Structure 1
Amino acid sequence: MKRIVLSLGVASLFFAYSCKNSPSSKQQGVQSEIVKSDITDEQLMDKVQKDALKYFWEYAEPNSMLGRERYHEDNIYPDNDKHVITTGGSGFGLATILVGVERGFVPRKEAVKRLTIMMDFLAKADRHKGAWSHWINGETGKTVPFGKKDNGGDLVETAFLTSGILMVREYFKNGNTEEKALAKKCDELWRGIQWNWYTKGGEKVLYWHWSPEYQWEMNFPLQGYNECLITYILAASSPTYSIDTETYYKGWSRNGAYLTNKTKYGLPLYVKHNGAEEYGGPLFWAHYSYIGLDPTGLSDKLVKNYFDLNKNQVLIDYKYCVENPKQWKGYGSDYWGLTASYTRNKDGGVGYTAHMPSNDHGVVTPTAALSSFPYTPKESMDFLRFIYTKQPEFIGSAGPYDATSINYSNWFTPRYLAIDQGTIAPMIENHRTGFLWKLFMNTPEIQQGLKKLSFKSAKYGIK
């Protein structure tokens, strides 16, 4: 296992390892059920949401019940990490489970029991000034280093987890005795996170990492634009350890320096995507912060409409795949979507990279198009229908596999990652009903935090 350090500034999500002889044929995957072409759009969305839920419901780490970093149907794992849980991916898993409860895919009472186990585990797990580490041992609750010096708090992964915790709190806070107790546990976890500690002594910017052993040596300030917006929103909304408005505008937006007038395919980019300014970054940048944060009509002092920002990033990715300048076999209007995921190495083994138009290897990652449903419903549905009805080898026991390629003779890796599988059901649900957006945006602290940062959303009465 080794870490990839890229200029994108999303280091905590980029790891890689090679398995040169790892299986990538249908025989080594789990045979999926053939989906008939006459299935309706609603049935297809139900199916992929149910499938993605399996990752967090059936394949959860058995002690903590949180999301495992990865699940491999080929049973090849690095460093015997079957009990390594991921905090950020678990946050997406919490949102996925809420979708499962709301749609009746899982029993509400059973979900409450599971979620209570998760919150009890998180309360006892290692925390670093209130923040959790990127990886945690699901059996012991101890920090699992993501890298030598990355053995402490990871504020971004903590933010993804906290977004899920808050939505669980909001969903159950007016329920029965067990549900109210669960909501109380969520609230206590939220209040214990020392967001302002991660300004490194009051600098007007948040830092990604802090370690009791290595202190601030990772030295990675959170500056836009990438997937980290939700970290600032939560830090400003904290009722106990909040940051001020100046930290957001000086740190995240770099005093407005992250704005751009550049366009691609006639579509404005609005902001400079770190290290990917021509086309925009990998599509998870339009997903991770927006599991709960509703970009619809959302603005701040600098960005006039976050929905347009995200929609344009996705459409640029889509148009690039349709244009297909590298002439990859299979790319087109029903097979598209570039984001960080497993990939096919030149030697045929499995690696990891941040796919995007400026880093295109002929590998399409299903979560890219599927988690973009709110922005591109037609294009995402075309992809969903194609992959389930025309490419069944790309579908495993928990939905679409993490990485696929028609170009390389229908190559795929029979593996799943929590951070990729975990955004599918939530973002599709936000497209269908806005369920998670409503939960998060109506959270009292979030309302106050957004107002504090001069955000506006007529949809939620934030002026």
Structure 2
Amino acid sequence: MLLIQRTAFSYFEHETNPANGLVLDKTAPDWPASIAAVGMALASYPVGVEAGFITRQAARERVLTTLRFFWQSPQGPEPDATGYHGFYYHFLDMQTGRRAAHCELSTIDTAFLLAGALTCAQYFTGEHLAEAEIRALADGLYRRADWTWALDQQNTVSMGWTPEQGFLAARWNGYDEALLLYILGLGSPTYPLPAASYPAWAAAYQWGNSYGIDYLYAGSLFTHQLSHIWVDFRGIQDEFMRGRGIDYFENSRRATLVQQRYAIDNPGRFKGYNQHCWGLTATDGPGPARRIVDGIVREFYDYLARGVPYGPDDGTIAPWVVVASLPFAPEVVLPSIDYFVHELDLHAGNPYGFKASFNPTWPDSQGSAYGWVSPWHFAIDQGPIVLMIENYRSGLIWQIMRRCPYIVQGLQRAGFGGGWLAQTVADSRPSGVVSAENLSR
């Protein structure tokens, strides 16, 4: 397990621009950086320090370079800026740090970026001047995000904004990875989301039953994982979960079990699915293409959010998302990891371990046991491997973020209570923080 974690961590060591801290979204030629990838890299550096993958000094320097870039980068309505209203464009040019192509200012990806920054603020608490600056910069970046602006005068948060079209029509409604977004937005001391935004988001929840398991539905497995990277939901409940008698951690465990049972049932009759080979999520695929396989017309997709049990499903499996479920259901995840590593040999020989995905049903596989394999590694696949293995092993990120006053405030304003949250007394600011306004822009 440590080898899998170490190999995934090496992505952030080698695919990061040392001049600005930007992390390559995908190992394809001329690809941009992803701000979500940067957030995962920031959160991974404390893990690397504790595991001995990187020295504290080296990690501190990487974090400072990254936070300084985001604090000093241009904010404004110009189409080639880096961000606006404290939010950042989904993709940035690896060298210049400016908006890549015509992508959107992304609220969810900014949430992941800020969560990574706040992780570093809570971890680097020493007296060293560099650690004090880390705390100040992370605090300043978080306080600058204007969550009320992102509402666009409605009850729920817009998914994004562009200079050309304004706010996107799509909004964060219903259970998904935006659980973290609402917690961060509600916890803001400067531009907080109104308390009513959280029940407005939750009003679109879908409670369902699959394979005899009751759970809060979201099809792609990553949606049951990403918020859990930073927040320990064990034993704490909001109004919805109190009414169901479980918590979000237990819900993610159930979603993991549904994924495995779907693969065993295999309603689409895809090749390779079994009790150890499962994991449908947003990932790369062999399409877009239509092929006849064993007399059946199959539709194959490229990068798409695949889901269980209602699809879409084209036979594409993502090993990384199985690893990221390790804290929830180790009894089914550990045998699956062993299967991917030893039976299918999907880990060895790749510079960063598991590729994004594979598809045994794809017909043009030249007899390979695992069919089509993505040629790429993705940063947002590598991050959950590093971070969720660590939460399973030591709970490090959960412990760090329990001390974050903004997370605590956001959870409380969302109506969470019980468990560790009831015992937590948080300061109004991270300890030893210096106002970022006093730092050089």
TM range (shorter): 0.7 to 0.9
Please list, as runs of the form range in 1=range in 2, the aligned pairs for 1:134-149 lying within 5 A after superposition: 134-147=90-103
Please list, as runs of the form range in 1=range in 2, the aligned pairs for 1:170-185 lying within 5 A after superposition: 170-185=122-137
Alignment gaps of 5+ in structure 2: 74-81, 292-299, 363-367, 425-441
Aligned equivalents of 1:267, 1:350: Cα separation in 2: 28
Native 8 Å contact 1:292 1:440 kept in 2 = yes
1:211 partner letter: T
**Normalising by the residue count of structure 1, what TM-score does the alignment of the two structures yield?**
0.81
Please list, as runs of the form range in 1=range in 2, the aligned pairs for 1:383-462 lying within 5 A after superposition: 383-395=336-348, 396-408=350-362, 409=368, 410=370, 411-461=372-422
Matched, 1:287 2:234: no
Number of residues of Structure 1 aligned to a counterpart in Structure 2: 393
Native 8 Å contact 2:18 2:62 kept in 1 = no
Matched, 1:373 2:326: yes
**Which residue in the other structure is 1:362 paired with?**
315
Alpha-carbon distance, 1:88 to partner:
1.1
Range with bigger deviation, 305-314 or 348-357: 348-357
**Which residue in the other structure is 2:241 paired with?**
303
Aligned equivalents of 1:447, 1:393: Cα separation in 2: 39
Native 8 Å contact 2:24 2:34 kept in 1 = yes
Alpha-carbon distance, 1:412 to partner:
0.7
Native 8 Å contact 2:357 2:374 kept in 1 = yes
Name the CA shift for 1:146/1:269 in 2 (closer, same or farther; >3 Å).
farther
**Which residue in the other structure is 2:257 paired with?**
315
Native 8 Å contact 1:226 1:281 kept in 2 = no
Aligned equivalents of 1:350, 1:121: Cα separation in 2: 36
Q: Secondary structure of 2:87's partner?
A: coil
Aligned equivalents of 1:389, 1:175: Cα separation in 2: 46
Aligned equivalents of 1:457, 1:155: Cα separation in 2: 29
Alpha-carbon distance, 1:376 to partner:
1.2
Alignment gaps of 5+ in structure 1: 1-44, 274-279
Alpha-carbon distance, 1:393 to partner:
4.4
Residue 336 of structure 1, aligned match among 278, 289, 298: 278
Aligned equivalents of 1:399, 1:247: Cα separation in 2: 40
Matched, 1:268 2:214: yes
Aligned equivalents of 2:141, 2:280: Cα separation in 1: 34
**Which residue in the other structure is 2:143 paired with?**
191
Q: What is the RMSD computed on CA atoms of the aligned residues? A: 1.9
Alpha-carbon distance, 1:177 to partner:
2.3
**Which residue in the other structure is 2:79 paired with?**
none
Alpha-carbon distance, 1:417 to partner:
1.1
Matched, 1:98 2:62: no
Alpha-carbon distance, 1:328 to partner:
2.4
**Which residue in the other structure is 2:113 paired with?**
161
**Which residue in the other structure is 1:26 paired with?**
none
**Which residue in the other structure is 1:109 paired with?**
57
1:332-365 Cα deviation digits (max 9, x unpaired): 1222111111011236898211122311211110
Name the CA shift for 1:457/1:94 in 2 (closer, same or farther; >3 Å).
farther
**Which residue in the other structure is 1:226 paired with?**
176
Residue 35 of structure 2, aligned match among 82, 87, 95: 87
Native 8 Å contact 2:22 2:97 kept in 1 = no
1:59 partner letter: E
1:32-65 Cα deviation digits (max 9, x unpaired): xxxxxxxxxxxxx101110110111112234322
Q: Secondary structure of 1:269's partner?
A: strand
Aligned equivalents of 1:135, 1:457: Cα separation in 2: 38
**Which residue in the other structure is 2:187 paired with?**
237
**Which residue in the other structure is 2:295 paired with?**
none
Aligned equivalents of 2:84, 2:65: Cα separation in 1: 21
Report sequence identity in percent.
Answer: 28
Alpha-carbon distance, 1:213 to partner:
3.5
Q: Secondary structure of 1:351's partner?
A: coil
Alpha-carbon distance, 1:298 to partner:
2.3
Aligned equivalents of 2:17, 2:378: Cα separation in 1: 13
Aligned equivalents of 2:156, 2:97: Cα separation in 1: 29
Native 8 Å contact 1:367 1:421 kept in 2 = yes
Native 8 Å contact 2:174 2:206 kept in 1 = no
1:231-250 Cα deviation digits (max 9, x unpaired): 11000001111112111112
Q: Secondary structure of 1:111's partner?
A: helix
Name the CA shift for 1:183/1:406 in 2 (closer, same or farther; >3 Å).
same
1:285 partner letter: T
Q: Secondary structure of 1:399's partner?
A: coil
Matched, 1:258 2:205: yes
Name the CA shift for 1:437/1:146 in 2 (closer, same or farther; >3 Å).
farther
Native 8 Å contact 2:401 2:407 kept in 1 = yes
Native 8 Å contact 1:455 1:462 kept in 2 = no
Aligned equivalents of 1:394, 1:414: Cα separation in 2: 13
Matched, 1:200 2:152: yes
Name the CA shift for 1:206/1:350 in 2 (closer, same or farther; >3 Å).
closer
Native 8 Å contact 2:23 2:94 kept in 1 = no
